[in-house]
Amino acid sequence: MSKLYFYYGTMGAAKSAEALICKHRYEEIGKSVLVFKSKHASRDGSNYIKSRLGMYAEAIILEDFMNTISTKELKAIIAAHDIIIVDEVQFCNEKTIDFLAYLVDTFDIPVLCYGLKTDLNTHLFEGSKRLLEIADVIVEIKNICDCGNKALFNVKISGDDINGEYKACCRKCLYKYI
């Protein structure tokens, strides 16, 4: 039985790198991987996921896909793939997350979701909240604060929301930035 997975971590925890490594591993053994990302993830351009390590892959915009695909086309596309990977899942809404759960339950295909848990105000993103509610498997990708403690939060150091500089920090160090 396939499962809905949620891999979460702070900025810089290598979530996108993990997603791309997972994609590579499946392809190495001859499996077909369908890669999605949220339309609200603009950091790397609309049709790509990219890690800070330089790895990248083409991706389909999940919300566009689910809003334009017919049931017949959906069945054919899912049947042609062995696994689905979704990056930047925190930006998805509840309906989109429920669609991913539908794919798992209807087509028996594993769906691996990667994203942030909380926003810059330490509140859950809508997509992350829904995944925490319904995912079969939840895994934290750990990161380290500058002080050596486990990083739990994301803070903006400078710049605007798109081109800003961010870092991960522990709760104690968070108070330096708020």
CATH 3.40.50.300 in the chain, residues?
A: 4-143
Indicate yes or no: pTM above 0.85. Answer: yes
- Kindly list the distances between the CA atom of residue 123 and the CA atoms of 90, 116, 126, 148, in Å, as whole numbers in the listed order: 11, 11, 9, 23
Catalytic residue list contains 165: no
Q: Which pLDDT score is estimated for 174? A: 93
Question: Is it true that domain 4-143 has CATH number 3.30.70.20?
Answer: no
> Cα 5 vs. chain centroid, distance in angstroms?
10
pLDDT, one tens digit per residue, over 48-75 is: 888 888 888 999 999 999 999 999 999 9
Choice among 88, 133, 140, 165 that is catalytic: 88
User: What span, in angstroms and rounded, lies between the C-alpha atoms of 9 and 23?
Assistant: 18
pLDDT, one tens digit per residue, over 129-141 is: 999 999 999 999 9
